[in-house]
Structure 1
Amino acid sequence: MKIVMIEPINISMMKIEEYRQRFEAEGHQLIAYSKRAEDDQEMIKRVKDADILIIANQPLSAEVINSAENLKMISVAFTGFDHIAMEACRENDILVSNSSGYANQAVAELAFGLTIGLMRNIKDSDEAVRASKTRAGLNGNELAGKNFGIIGFGAIGQKTARIADAFGCKILVDDHKKHQLGKELGVEYLPIAELLRKSDIVSLHVPLKDSTVDLIDAEKIALMKKSAILINTARGSVVNSEALAKALNKEEIAGAGIDVFEMEPPIPEDHPLLNAKNTILTPHTAFATEEAFIKRAEIVFANIEAWFKEESQNVVS
């Protein structure tokens, strides 16, 4: 079968060659592109005759999917799959597997990097030193004893909870399910409105779907403490950026750490969060660690090998 890696997945050419040789020994062909396609027409050329696609987070349209007449399986080098035209996959009986779990630790760690950055004024402190200033006005806050609200208590949310517990936080969760970890950590389960009212830090870990678009809107933000901060390492569209920017600029909440936006960076110059007060913005980098990329590649190719054995794993369609 013809396996096409339609875009780079941040592993070395040496590692790609190892996988290529492994598949060739089993009678398959692996083609790996080193750059993203610039448009759908280039994508259509790349997927021609492909039986299996490997893709990270480059959008995969219905037009491209429908053009790939031999396509049977897509292994997504990403946890989310909202960038893929899933309806076209279902219509064409194409199995889609994702790489869920590869970046759980990486994302949870960045959520805390953003949290500590905001609570200890790290960005402003760095600027103060470079401008020959003192620590005047830069007193921060400690995490210990704070209410750490987690919206979305899946694998990443639970990793985040473990770290929050290590910092001495009280953990609040909106999920109605009673997880074993929740019992272990003494989690308090609350409706989302009450969680927002009580939390000092709110960290988002939900997938993007119809029910989570604008989950955190002006009404929800208005429930938060003036001293609270919002962390989003989930999906950009889960938060209404315009409402968040207005709340920040009016000092209705204390700060926000944002790694994800409605589009992939670079974000437009007029994006509301670029001029919002007390923000730390990162260019969708939560998942991007060397360790995570190695794990991701292992899952991507294991998905394909499992499919060959009719033992499909990580199936999302």
Structure 2
Amino acid sequence: MIIKLLEPLVVKKEVIENLSSEIKKLGHEFVYYNTKTTDVEELKERAKDADILMIANNPLPNEVIEVAKNLKMISVAFTGFDHIGTLAKERGIVVCNAAGYANNAVAELVIGLTLDLMRNINKCNSVIRKGGTIAGLIGGEVKGKTIGIVGTGRIGTMTANLFKCMGANLIGYDITENPKAIELGLKYVDIDTLMKTSDIISLHLPLNDSTRGFISKEKLSLMKETSILINCARGAVVDNNALAEILNEEKIAGAGIDVFDMEPPIPSDYPLLNAKNTILTPHVAFASHESMIIRAEIAFDNVNKYLAGTPINVVKL
């Protein structure tokens, strides 16, 4: 079989060579592209003769899948897979993801964004460099606050655990209750109650038809003026125009946002770029040196297991 890694995985070349050695030993051809492209024609050229494709979060549109006539399996070195064209499902192509590789990295960035907003870290940095003082920069503590976890899967539960270690109270919302979250002391409530009572809301929802725009203007309007929203999940689970409006009207205290309605670079007229009391990061929650190695290992393991006839991490498209 011809197996192609269509984009870099942000690890050293030696890591790729080591991880691909098993594929080569079995007599398969492995091709690695160490440059990233979103050009559809270039992607077509790269993918056209592949039996197996490996990607990260680079879009794989239907036009590319269409020309890959031999394509049987896609290994996604990423948790989400909504960037894969619908043709993969229509053709019955097996898709495996790397869920779990960045659990810790994402959870830690949630904490970082929360602390930045609550302790005015960015503002303090700017003020001290301009000769300023503590005036107006008194912050708040996480201890004793109520944390609302929306989506209590592995990342949401790990985030809840970090907040618990800081002395916070935990409530959560999900369509399915997670026993591990309950063990932490998290109490499940309906979404409106969570929005109304949380001091800090952290989103951990996947993006699908039922979650797109789930955090609507109506739900955002339920939040307390002193509360903050953190989104390190998927941008489109929030009505971000409404969020920008509510922030500018100072109806909530702030927001830490790592994900948007599109991948960076973000257009200059995007409302959140100019919203008050925001900390914005360019979709980096998943990206730590440690997590990049873990996801590469999982992505190659997906391929090896598929070749062995025992596929793992298969997702439902």
What's the TM-score once normalised by structure 1's chain length? 0.98
Corresponding position of 1:112: 111
Corresponding position of 1:27: 27
Q: Pick closer, same or farther for the CA change 1:53–1:144 going to 2, 3 Å.
A: same
> CA deviation digits over 1:10-68, x for unaligned, max 9?
11111112233332111011111111124111111000210100001111111110110
> CA deviation digits over 1:72-107, x for unaligned, max 9?
10000100000001x311222210000000000000
Corresponding position of 1:303: 302
Corresponding position of 2:198: 199
Letter in structure 2 aligned against 1:69: K
For the residues of structure 2 that align with 1:20 and 1:184, how far apart are their CA atoms? 40
For the residues of structure 2 that align with 1:242 and 1:53, how far apart are their CA atoms? 36
What's the TM-score once normalised by structure 2's chain length? 0.98
For the residues of structure 2 that align with 1:230 and 1:239, how far apart are their CA atoms? 10
Q: Aligned pair count?
A: 316
Corresponding position of 2:40: 40
The worse-fitting range, judged by mean Cα deviation, of 12-21 and 166-175 is: 12-21
Corresponding position of 1:127: 126
Deviation at residue 176 of structure 1 after TM alignment: 4.8
Where in structure 2 are the equivalents of 1:121-200 lying within 5 Å? Answer: 121-200=120-199
For the residues of structure 2 that align with 1:12 and 1:79, how far apart are their CA atoms? 21
Corresponding position of 1:9: 9
- The Cα RMSD (Å) is 1.0
> CA deviation digits over 1:246-293, x for unaligned, max 9?
101110000000000011101000010111111000000000000000
For the residues of structure 2 that align with 1:290 and 1:20, how far apart are their CA atoms? 19
In structure 1, stretches of 5+ residues that fail to align are: none
> CA deviation digits over 1:116-152, x for unaligned, max 9?
0000000100001100100100000000000000000
Q: Pick closer, same or farther for the CA change 1:277–1:197 going to 2, 3 Å.
A: same
Task: Check the 8 A contact 2:20/2:300 in 1, yes or no.
Answer: no
Instruction: Describe the SS at the equivalent of 1:96.
Output: strand
Letter in structure 2 aligned against 1:196: M
For the residues of structure 1 that align with 2:7 and 2:311, how far apart are their CA atoms? 23
For the residues of structure 2 that align with 1:106 and 1:283, how far apart are their CA atoms? 14
The worse-fitting range, judged by mean Cα deviation, of 238-247 and 226-235 is: 238-247
For the residues of structure 2 that align with 1:136 and 1:153, how far apart are their CA atoms? 38
Deviation at residue 160 of structure 1 after TM alignment: 0.5
Corresponding position of 2:275: 276
Q: Pick closer, same or farther for the CA change 1:187–1:38 going to 2, 3 Å.
A: closer
Corresponding position of 1:62: 62
